[in-house]
Structure 1
Amino acid sequence: MQFEGAYLEDGKGWSIWDTFTNFPGQCPSGVMVHENATDTIRLRKGNVACDFYHLYPQDLRLAKRLHAKNFRFSVAWTRIFPKGDGPVNQAGLDYYSKMVDTILELGMVPAVTLYHWDLPEELQRRFGGWNSREIVPIFANYSATVFNALGDRVIYWTTINEPKTFCWEGYGTGMHAPGIRDPMQVANCSMNVLYAHAAAVKQFRKIVPGGKISMNLNAEWSVPFDSNSEQDQEAAQRKQDFEVGVYADPVYFGQFPDSVRARVPYLPEIPDDLARDLAGSFDYFALNQYTSSYAKYSDGSDSALGRCDYDVTHTGKDGLILGEQGDSGWLYSLPWGFRKVLNYVNDRYKPAEISITENGFNVKGESFMTLDEITHDTQRVKYFQEYIRNAVEAAVYDNVPISNYHAWALMDNFEWTDGYSKHFGVCYTNFTTQERILKASARYLANTFAPAK
């Protein structure tokens, strides 16, 4: 969705994000993509995005020029099964097979994510998508189909990208597709994600022996608003429990965090059979990390999942913001928070390896800059310098088992409800001509990861 475009080509079906963007304001929450980024000549919306579907050979060569060792991409479910299940669309499998071959020919390692929020619209209409347990065998079958097609050449896999984001924003706040606002559906989505992941991993073990699989989890570092307050310290831990623990604790410990279970009575217990299936289902920890925030105790405060008893802020007791603000309201650069998160994941879950699968920054006001200003993105360079340094320190001094690092993103793309108003790319994308132009951050990453001489 964010990169591929070609939204109905070669047999691809309709996804919930196609609906969200093509019929602005018609989802239950009434939320729309920024500026109704529909397929006009001016905006060329998510139906086109970066046109990666057609331009992937040149984009992969660009990644190689920047000394990328790995290349992560997501499979569009509706390219494989246009209606979510039923007949396989062979053209979709062939497309991804050719892409994997190209990645390997260029000497890079492919990393594949099976689900990146673009649920087939037909499944949402039939039974409510991730709100229903019916999705589990369908997702397992879809996963097995892709494993069979690509598993002979791909080692690194993830089943689902950022369940916290699409469950909370898609079914809780209504800010993302399918635009629903219902805490119970957030709970159902979270449970069904775990069932679907476990079912997919069962297929994976049979089809891709020797492969590695996980789920991409996004994690902020949570800083106590008042470091001397025990209530704020507990609120910071509780925020980790709600945002990361709901998806990681069942895998590693067989149950949801106690702080979540105590506050969300409609979140079911993890049954023994699911706990057994989840155990050992993360061969590595796939971490998406961008930002940090303060957590402050607040009795009765709610999250999208339900009562959480904490508030989130980026302004401290001293009135100063927590780090340099990006262009997104949620994004603040706090490099030492990255090291804290890496240590938190390592200490709590003790994974064999941690793959940093997303890390990046959008520069404030980039949409209103000249091309010369855009390509001299010193704030993004600073972000990468400091975040990478903290990751290196976590690996070298703290013995955190970091195996690889993926910057987000190769190029500016369609950023969900933000449309084309936010820019994470290290390459500028001209969405009219589809020209890619290197920013200073691209050159910085290329130099940083160039082979030693």
Structure 2
Amino acid sequence: MSKSLFSNDFYWGAGSSAFQVEGGWDADGKGLTVADVNAFKKSEYQADTKVASDFYHKFEADINLMADLGLKMYRFSISWARIFPDGEGKINQKGIDYYNKIIDLLIERDIEPFITLYHFDLPYHLVEKYNGWESKETVAAFAEYAKTCYENFGDRVKKWQIHNEQNLMIRVNERMNIYEDKGNVEQLRIRMDHNMFLAYAKASDLCHELVDNGQVGPSISSTVTYPATNKPQDVMSAIWNNRLKTDYCIHTHVFGAYPDYYINYLDDVGLNLEITDEDYDVMKKAKVDFIAVNYYRTITTKYLEPTDKNLKGTKIKGFNEVDYNMYGYWEIIKNENLEETEYGAQIDPVGLRIALNDYYSKYHKPLIITENGLGTADELTKENKIHDGYRIDYIQSHIRAISEAINDGVDVFGYCVWSFTDILSSHQGFKKRYGLVYINRTDFELKDLKRIPKDSYYWYKKVIETKGSSIDER
């Protein structure tokens, strides 16, 4: 790409989340989170949140590496339980102080802080007290937490995400603390999802009230679905997979009301959306300044006929828990035209161009990619090098897709690689590495936690220096 389509103020960034990098899980008054509890359950076969990448103690060194890279933006999350150990009640000043240090150092190094308020780590006290997002008490607690963050950090932080991937999070039982013994699981899921929409609306309203020039938006897990054939039922199956896994969520955030097709779907499958006039008023106040897109793969579907045993709306596991199949709507199949990672995600940079065009044409909001990267094993050589040309290939092809979307007329203002350093993967620990920077540890041996830039780090550094014009150079 000899001529860059990226503007001079395009944000070249990288990202992380608190529970995946910080460690210090109970340091300086931090409370227990759902992410901690889930990690501890898996600690027999992978790493947990106790140390993770140890960003809690090594943030200065990591931010210096970000500055050396030339990073323009660092997208990271605040741990709600560092600010409010119980999710509500008394503020933990040491948590405020910690994030102030990070924000100040980022700004000192000319890196814009971009904060996510909630990334899968609900304070566990709220689970014990209210069953988490089932209760509007958690909505009120979240609004107070958001207000506290805006008041303490909003003088320097102007870009905010509310929830990371609400549309995906709601489909993962362990992240929502949903278990089969809690009655009608799908009805509970709808209630929790609704309360998260209310929390978003309140937090977005508070941001515009309390943060001068503050901007706020949802982060969504992108779903781009191809029909397996040109049969009309297969085409419709792809539309429904997009609608019920992603599109309904963006629509509700942007327009402050559920789309008709979603309401009708709930009626068809016997689910009840309990919504009050007050809820409608709250949701209508929601504001979206931009849409943050997390993109990794595309999906292919065909129509799945209901049966006497499996009525319309019956869900069964598909490719994984997140990408479930549903009778009367869709069944996920493998796309033979795409390569896939060792963990089964099909690699499709063209799908990113499709997603960006689709979201911009539907919602007319500026877009930023807040997660995109390759999770796989990396080999540390005897010379302490990581030759991850496969990661460069992945990032390169997706940046090229972004440039093509920009050329299509889509307003894309930033790209954040997932992730800056290796992180604690929720399901594969440190076997599945995403980082531009290697963390010298394994799941069960901390070693020296040394930071080692990979080949992809140096390649991305040049991309940033050339404002994207060097992405084809190796």
When normalised by structure 1's length, the TM-score is: 0.88
> What is the aligned counterpart of 1:315 among 334, 338, 341?
334
In the TM superposition, what are the counterparts of 1:336-375 in structure 2 within 5 Å? 336-351=350-365, 353-363=366-376, 366=377, 375=386
CA distance in 1, matches of 2:166, 2:327: 18
- Say which is worse superposed, 89-98 or 298-307, in terms of deviation: 298-307
- Whichever residue aligns with residue 197 of structure 2, its letter is L
> What is the aligned counterpart of 2:435 among 412, 425, 432?
425
1:238 aligns to what?
240
Tell me the alpha carbon deviations over residues 31-69 of structure 1, each in whole angstroms, 9 at most, x when there is no partner. Answer: x46x533xxxxx5x3110000011111101111211210
Tell me the alpha carbon deviations over residues 69-115 of structure 1, each in whole angstroms, 9 at most, x when there is no partner. Answer: 00111000110000111110000001101110000000011100100
Stretches of structure 2 lacking an aligned partner (at least 5 in a row): 1-18, 306-311, 317-321, 470-474
SS of aligned partner of 1:183: helix
> What is the aligned counterpart of 2:452 among 428, 437, 451?
437
Tell me the alpha carbon deviations over residues 251-295 of structure 1, each in whole angstroms, 9 at most, x when there is no partner. Answer: 233433344333323251765654554445111111111111102
**Aligned pair 1:411/2:421, yes or no?**
yes
CA distance in 2, matches of 1:267, 1:215: 25
> What is the aligned counterpart of 2:290 among 284, 287, 291?
284
CA distance in 1, matches of 2:234, 2:223: 16
SS of aligned partner of 2:459: helix
SS of aligned partner of 2:85: coil
Q: 1:310 to 1:371 in 2, by over 3 A?
A: farther
User: Is the 1:256–1:269 contact (alpha carbons within 8 Å) kept by the matching residues of 2?
Assistant: no
User: Is the 2:257–2:280 contact (alpha carbons within 8 Å) kept by the matching residues of 1?
Assistant: yes
1:367 Cα deviation (Å)?
A: 5.9
1:3 aligns to what?
21
Stretches of structure 1 lacking an aligned partner (at least 5 in a row): 25-31, 38-42
- Whichever residue aligns with residue 407 of structure 1, its letter is V
User: Is the 1:251–1:275 contact (alpha carbons within 8 Å) kept by the matching residues of 2?
Assistant: no
- Whichever residue aligns with residue 326 of structure 1, its letter is T
Percent of residue pairs identical: 29
CA distance in 2, matches of 1:289, 1:193: 21
When normalised by structure 2's length, the TM-score is: 0.84
> What is the aligned counterpart of 2:31 among 13, 37, 52?
13
**Aligned pair 1:123/2:134, yes or no?**
no
Query: How many aligned residue pairs are there?
Result: 424
SS of aligned partner of 2:113: strand
- Whichever residue aligns with residue 404 of structure 1, its letter is G
1:178 aligns to what?
177
CA distance in 1, matches of 2:237, 2:265: 13
SS of aligned partner of 1:287: strand
- Say which is worse superposed, 95-104 or 58-67, in terms of deviation: 58-67
CA distance in 1, matches of 2:451, 2:382: 12
CA distance in 2, matches of 1:293, 1:335: 13
SS of aligned partner of 1:286: strand
1:401 aligns to what?
411
Q: Compute the RMSD of aligned alpha carbons.
A: 2.3
In the TM superposition, what are the counterparts of 1:11-410 in structure 2 within 5 Å? 11-22=29-40, 24=41, 32=42, 35-37=44-46, 43=47, 45-170=48-173, 174=174, 176=175, 178=177, 180-181=179-180, 182-226=185-229, 228-265=230-267, 266-268=271-273, 273-279=278-284, 281-299=287-305, 300=312, 301-302=314-315, 309-316=328-335, 320=336, 322-329=337-344, 331-351=345-365, 353-363=366-376, 366=377, 375-396=386-407, 398-410=408-420
